Structure 1
Amino acid sequence: MKLIIGLGNPGKEYSGNRHNVGFQCLSRFAKDNHISFDKKCCLSRTGSGRINDEEIVLAKPQTYMNLSGKAASQLLRRYNLKAADIIVVQDDLDLPAGKIRLRLGGSAGGHNGISSIITDIGTKEFIRLKIGIGKPDSRNNGTEVVDHVLGNFGGEEREIMDKAITRASEALTCLLTFGLDTASNRFNS
């Protein structure tokens, strides 16, 4: 069994935010695989299904980003899983908008949701699917990072991100089917 956690903030006011790209990707993946988020469990909205022979649980923590680890640790206990069984889908400021990268382990890189998960599950050794949202444009009236990540994608950027989310959904399927090395070689950009 694999647990795929998409990071984001709950509530309609956050649904289009850059910081919610993890939720957006998980919604796309769920739609592509006919999975619905029809349960509430472990501080999360969850859905389950199968990819090939692999049972999967999808989870969108409802704790707000900075407390995502509370949901992740409860989910691991509930399903009797190890960190090696989880995949976390996250936004990444350090990747240009629309780029994706699969990676095992590493630091939180300043991402508070990832930091919370590392703290609460006690390890950084889990797979992350990072979706680039780019850094704020320093010429854009000094937009701060918080304003950037909590801002919505605009026009051309939304088109780029829609394609990235589709590609990230495909990367999840490849990862579950062929493993990290094959998926990384195919999708890391």
Structure 2
Amino acid sequence: MILIAGLGNPGKDYENTRHNIGFVVADRLLDDLAVQVTYYKFNAEVFESDYSGKKLLIVRPLLYMNNSGASLKHFITQYSLEIDRILVIHDDIDIDFGKIRLKTGGGTGGHNGLESLVKHMGNADFDRLRFGVGRPPKKIDPAVYVLSRFKRVELKNLFFIVDKAVTSIKDYIEFGIDYAMNKYNN
């Protein structure tokens, strides 16, 4: 089983913000899959499916970003998931808008969702799909920036980029992290 977690903040106020791109990508992935079961558990929306012969648990934590690790920790424990069976989708201000990067492990880069995951799991070696949302303009606080909505010019390309992210996740599921990194990190 592979756990795919899209990070974001719950509620209408946060829909379509940069920080919620993990939810957007997870939702788009679900559009392509035959979801077999949907339920709520451990403060999360949960979708069970499969792809390329692999069982998937797609999770959208319903806690705020800085507590999302508390929710995911329960899934990891209940399903006895190894760290290399977890893919976390999140926004990244250190990557230009429109770029995606896959990686295994690493630091948190000050990302509150990743910090919560590392704190609750005690391990930073999970796989990540980093969705570039770009750096904030000079006088804008990064915390304010990630909670802002995409600009009109960005929205024109957003759906194409989200589709590319979904394709990268499918390749990740089918062929593994190394293949996906080699294909999409250029």
What's the TM-score once normalised by structure 2's chain length? 0.96
Is 1:123 paired with 2:123? yes
Tell me the secondary structure at the aligned position of residue 110 of structure 1: coil
CA distance in 2, matches of 1:116, 1:45: 18
Partner of 2:55 in structure 1?
A: 55
CA distance in 1, matches of 2:24, 2:141: 23
Displacement of 1:36 = 7.3
Displacement of 1:33 = 1.3
Is 1:170 paired with 2:167? yes
Partner of 1:32 in structure 2?
A: 32
Partner of 1:13 in structure 2?
A: 13
Is 1:180 paired with 2:163? no
After superposition, the C-alpha distances for 1:131-163 in whole angstroms (9 at most, x for unaligned) are: 00001122xxx2211221000012111122222
Partner of 1:67 in structure 2?
A: 67
Task: State how 1:28-177 maps to structure 2 within 5 Å.
Answer: 28-35=28-35, 38-138=38-138, 142-177=139-174
Identity %: 33
Work out the number of aligned pairs and report it: 186
- The alignment yields a C-alpha RMSD, in angstroms, of 1.2
| Unaligned runs of at least 5 residues, structure 1 | none
| Unaligned runs of at least 5 residues, structure 2 | none
Asked if structure 1 preserves the Cα contact closer than 8 Å seen for 2:34 and 2:50, the reply is no
Partner amino acid for 2:55?
E
CA distance in 2, matches of 1:35, 1:151: 31
CA distance in 2, matches of 1:160, 1:146: 23
After superposition, the C-alpha distances for 1:92-132 in whole angstroms (9 at most, x for unaligned) are: 00000010000000001110100110110010111000000
What's the TM-score once normalised by structure 1's chain length? 0.95
Asked if structure 2 preserves the Cα contact closer than 8 Å seen for 1:28 and 1:169, the reply is yes
Displacement of 1:13 = 1.3
Change (3 A) 1:101 1:13: same
